[in-house]
């Protein structure tokens, strides 16, 4: 009590009489303890035990991230938790320091729960944040796979967006699969060609139609017992597919704007949902532009797995596969043995990375 009084006694001279000051001390003490020993009691909002200054932090799983506010799963309940300001300082590279899927340590300080520490991550899926400033936008942590949802009709299939997401997944060493949705709206010849392109690149490809509920059983098996990030263009049907995989989730879905050839952002924040069959999915906001982050330009070619199958090496060990003589990758593209669409994606992403990180370095012959 003496220490408590010492902390609040210094006040302007004459502001309070000793009697009024003592009353203020007692009222302050009552507010701090809620009329009883709150350290031994529980939070009236979340029914969680309050923590003393020496109490160990509480472990929780982040299931939603939005600006500075998060939601965490704690002892079977989903409750709000704010991010400490110092996390933004310690992780200044990131637009937001916390990602869905993070295991975190919490404290309780009278204003609610706060994230104190982010536990070491098994992996992190991220992209370059929107805007001119070059920063990382964490999307999801500790996941088993990235499920890239593309579609036919509106919005039209985008090879560059699909390839950008696949490159990012490869860079972060996370397996990826592709879902081609709305196959009832595409031409069979086009669907078969795209299917073949990505199968030859080594990716599992799933064909679905949400409106006809086609391919849902196969998609359900893909997601079972795994933590999956479902990612793709706005309007591709991500949330609709998740609703079909597990009826009852009732994720918001929206119509597609034909003028923009993309959907409305019906999902406005990343959110993790547990699946009754085992596993979990991270439903993410649709994107119109996806830009990989942090990939050195000279390493980009390593993230096109089908290029490793070239029987002969290029003349230069660090060949960029553009203007160098005796480039085997370019020769295979010209011969139709490697997909031209994938090569164009590589060229575009490489140029963007070089503008950020500089050139690809000196070319050295084998």
Q: Which residues contact 294 (CB under 8 A, 6 or more apart)?
A: 126, 136, 171
Comparing CA positions, the residue from 266, 226, 4, 267 lying closest to residue 101 is 226
- List of E strands, the chain: 58-66, 69-74, 77-83, 103-108, 113-118, 124-128, 136-141, 145-151, 176-181, 205-207, 227-232, 256-257, 262-263, 270-274, 280-283
- State the 10-residue block means of pLDDT for the chain, 366 residues long: 40 43 42 36 47 72 88 95 92 94 93 94 95 91 98 94 98 98 97 98 97 97 98 92 89 48 55 96 88 95 90 87 93 95 98 85 41
For residue range 89-114, what is the model confidence (pLDDT) as tens digits? 999 999 999 999 999 999 988 889 99
Residue 165: per-residue pLDDT: 98
- The CATH number, out of the four listed (2.30.30.110, 3.40.50.261, 2.40.50.140, 3.20.20.60), of the domain defined by the range 58-120: 2.40.50.140
Residue 249: per-residue pLDDT: 84
CATH homologous superfamily of 297-357? Probable gtpase engc; domain 3 (1.10.40.50)
- The CATH number, out of the four listed (3.40.50.460, 1.10.8.80, 3.40.50.300, 3.30.450.40), of the domain defined by the range 133-283: 3.40.50.300
Q: Which residues contact 331 (CB under 8 A, 6 or more apart)?
A: none
Residue 57: per-residue pLDDT: 84
For residues 301, 293, 97, 177, the Cα torsion angle rounded to the nearest 10 degrees is -50
Residue 37: per-residue pLDDT: 30
pTM: 0.80
């Amino acid at each position: 009590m003496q220490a408590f009084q010492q902390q609040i006694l210094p006040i302007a001279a004459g502001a309070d009489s000793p009697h009024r000051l003592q009353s203020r001390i007692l009222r302050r003490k009552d507010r701090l303890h809620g009329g009883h020993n709150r350290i031994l009691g529980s939070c009236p909002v979340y029914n969680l035990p309050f923590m003393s200054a020496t109490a160990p932090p509480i472990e929780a799983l982040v299931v939603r991230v939005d600006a500075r506010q998060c939601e965490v799963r704690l002892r079977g309940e989903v409750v709000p938790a704010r991010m400490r300001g110092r996390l933004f300082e310690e992780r200044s590279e990131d637009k937001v320091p916390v990602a869905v899927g993070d295991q975190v340590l919490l404290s309780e300080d009278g204003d609610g729960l706060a994230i104190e520490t982010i536990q070491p991550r098994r992996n992190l899926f991220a992209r370059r944040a929107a805007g001119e400033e070059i920063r990382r936008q964490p999307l999801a942590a500790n996941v088993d796979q990235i499920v890239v949802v593309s579609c036919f009709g509106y919005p039209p299939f985008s090879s560059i967006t699909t390839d950008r997401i696949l490159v990012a997944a490869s860079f972060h060493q996370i397996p990826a699969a592709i879902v081609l949705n709305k196959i009832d709206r595409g031409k069979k010849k086009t669907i078969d060609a795209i299917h073949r392109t990505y199968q030859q690149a080594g990716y599992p490809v799933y064909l679905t139609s949400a409106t006809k509920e086609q391919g849902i059983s196969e998609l359900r098996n893909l997601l079972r017992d795994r933590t999956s990030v479902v990612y793709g263009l706005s309007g591709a049907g991500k949330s609709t597919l998740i609703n079909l995989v597990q009826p009852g989730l009732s994720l918001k879905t929206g119509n597609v704007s034909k003028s923009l050839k993309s959907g409305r952002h019906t999902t406005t924040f990343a959110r993790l949902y547990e699946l009754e069959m085992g596993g979990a999915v991270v439903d993410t906001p649709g994107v119109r532009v996806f830009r990989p982050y942090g990939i050195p330009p000279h390493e980009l070619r390593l993230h096109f797995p089908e290029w490793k199958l070239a029987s002969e090496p290029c003349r230069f060990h660090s060949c960029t596969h553009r203007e160098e003589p005796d480039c085997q990758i370019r020769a295979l593209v010209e011969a139709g043995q490697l997909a031209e669409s994938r090569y164009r994606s590589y060229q575009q992403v490489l140029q963007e990375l070089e503008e950020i990180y500089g050139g690809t370095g000196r070319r050295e012959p084998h």
